[in-house]
Amino acid sequence: MKYKHVLFIVFVILALDQLIKIYIKTHFYMGESVHVFGNWFQLCFIENEGMAFGMKIMDAPIGKVILTLFRLIAVCLGFYWVKRLVARRHGRGLLLCAALILAGAAGNLIDSMFYGLIFTDSGMQIAHFVAPGQGYASFLHGKVVDMFYFPLIDTTWPHWIPFFGGRPLRFFEPIFNLADAAISTGVIVLLLFQKKLLRHHYDKPVATRKQEEPVL
């Protein structure tokens, strides 16, 4: 797989992620939920200032800046990492995982960097575009748009269970976006199949390598 093919995958995922986020941001009230398939698949609009699935580094504003800068550095290094993987002739599986992770990181980075500049606040009204700099927050302080909600199990713990009895039981409770899903998929596949995916091209038998060498 060539570098341009990996970039194409990255930009397709990135474009889909942004299209979904912009649609949700400009058509949903904060907290509004729409049932897509029964109760187990919903579109529920929320925003978070942290990492994937709403996690945070810290509550202070500087934590948001640190996270956004970290994302920016990670994305820049990600493009370099992918280029190195392609140059070393790693397999499609590893390159696809890298593309998913890179696209997801870039998708949430765009929210953090620019959404505060170009959107109004989604507090009591549906947000809309504004001139750059007239939005709800400054550069690097944008909130990440989340919308996918899969409460596959929504019940209560049986009363006879110690400590948890009578409490709500929901699975899967976090609300996330396409970028989060791309990162999670790439990381999980990489962890589960790392021995196969991380095998270097030059670890293959000589005969196999010769067959794969490009003809000049």
Task: Name, in order, each residue with C-beta under 8 angstroms of 72's C-beta and a sequence gap of 6 or more.
Answer: 109, 113
The sheet carrying 175-176 orders its strands as 33-37, 41-48, 144-149, 175-176
CB contact at 8 A, 132 and 146:
no
Catalytic residue among 17, 111, 121, 146: 146
CA 133 to each of CA 37, 137, 182, 206, 216: distance values in angstroms, whole numbers, following the listed order: 38, 8, 30, 58, 52
> Which alpha helices (DSSP H) does the chain contain, by range?
3-27, 61-87, 92-110, 116-118, 178-192, 194-197, 206-212
**Active-site residue flag, 146:** yes
Catalytic residue among 59, 121, 154, 180: 180
CA 100 to each of CA 8, 112, 115, 191: distance values in angstroms, whole numbers, following the listed order: 11, 19, 22, 14
Cα–Cα distance for residue pair 5/28, rounded to 1 Å: 34
**Active-site residue flag, 17:** no
List residues with catalytic annotation.
146, 180
